[in-house]
């Protein structure tokens, strides 16, 4: 009677390893079925905005976000090469105009880009007098906010704490709904992912 060939120790461990990988991936996907696929956690929520001095894009001087405490602040990271930034730009300009004269400030941070292309972008797509356009020299602000791609938008409450974050192009309705929620003291969703982030 012929005995079946013995499986080698290495083969057994490979089989066990593959089984574990399947179990882990299965658990991850199963856990996502009952959740909104657009909602992801952000480690930045609840943290103070980084105290980085950012030079203005089109005038002398610099901006420190701490100087805006007392206002609700929208901080949008963008670049001239970013397609998603073009998609969302009109919504940002319109929202900034809608909240002009209120205690809401808008800051556009030109990230991983040069001044001239950034100014050219604003010349082509428009700028808002209610927006403070600044440059992220050395990507210090981006590092402080944990920016991994563009566009990304952060919402700060009156104390300068990050209370909301949007990854990908933001819409006018999302801007207004989030700002209105913060203005009346309601909790906002931590992160809403509306599109793919672009990296240079």
| pTM confidence score | 0.78
3-state helix/strand/coil string of 164-197: EEEECCCCHHHHHHHHHHHHCCCCCCCEEECCCC
Q: pLDDT value at position 77?
A: 98
User: 83-98 vs 115-125: helix axis angle to the nearest 10?
Assistant: 60
Determine the Cα–Cα distance for residues 150 and 109; give it in Å rounded to an integer. 11
Q: Which two tokens stand for residue 21?
A: 């990988």
**Residues 6 or more apart in contact with residue 43 via CB below 8 angstroms:** 146
The sign of the CA dihedral 60, 141, 102, 88 is positive
pLDDT in tens, 65-106: 999 999 999 999 999 999 999 999 999 999 999 999 999 999
Q: pLDDT value at position 188?
A: 81
105 and 67 Cβ atoms separated by less than 8 Å: no
Percent of the chain with pLDDT over 70: 76
pLDDT band at 190 (very low <50, low <70, confident <90, very high): low
Q: What is the DSSP string of 91-153?
A: HHHHHHHHTTTSSEEEEEEE-SS-HHHHHHHHHHH---TTEEEEE-GGGHHHHHHT--SB-EE
Q: pLDDT value at position 192?
A: 60
């Amino acid at each position: 009677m012929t005995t079946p060939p013995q499986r080698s120790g290495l083969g057994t461990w490979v089989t066990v390893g593959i089984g574990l990988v399947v179990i882990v991936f299965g658990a991850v996907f199963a856990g996502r079925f009952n959740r909104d696929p657009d909602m992801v956690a952000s480690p930045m929520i609840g943290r103070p905005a980084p105290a980085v001095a950012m030079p203005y894009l089109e005038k002398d001087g610099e901006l420190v976000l701490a100087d805006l405490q007392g206002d609700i602040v929208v901080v949008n990271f963008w670049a001239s090469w970013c397609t998603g930034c073009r998609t969302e730009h009109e919504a940002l300009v319109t929202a900034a105009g809608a909240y002009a004269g209120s205690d809401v400030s808008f800051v556009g941070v030109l990230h991983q880009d040069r001044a001239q292309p950034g100014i050219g972008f604003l010349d082509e797509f428009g700028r808002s007098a209610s927006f403070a356009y600044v440059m992220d020299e050395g990507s210090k602000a981006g590092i402080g906010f944990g920016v991994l791609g563009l566009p990304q938008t952060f919402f700060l409450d009156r104390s300068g704490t990050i209370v909301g974050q949007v990854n990908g192009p933001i819409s006018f309705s999302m801007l207004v709904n989030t700002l209105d929620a913060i203005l009346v003291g309601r909790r906002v969703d931590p992160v809403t992912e509306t599109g793919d982030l672009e990296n240079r």
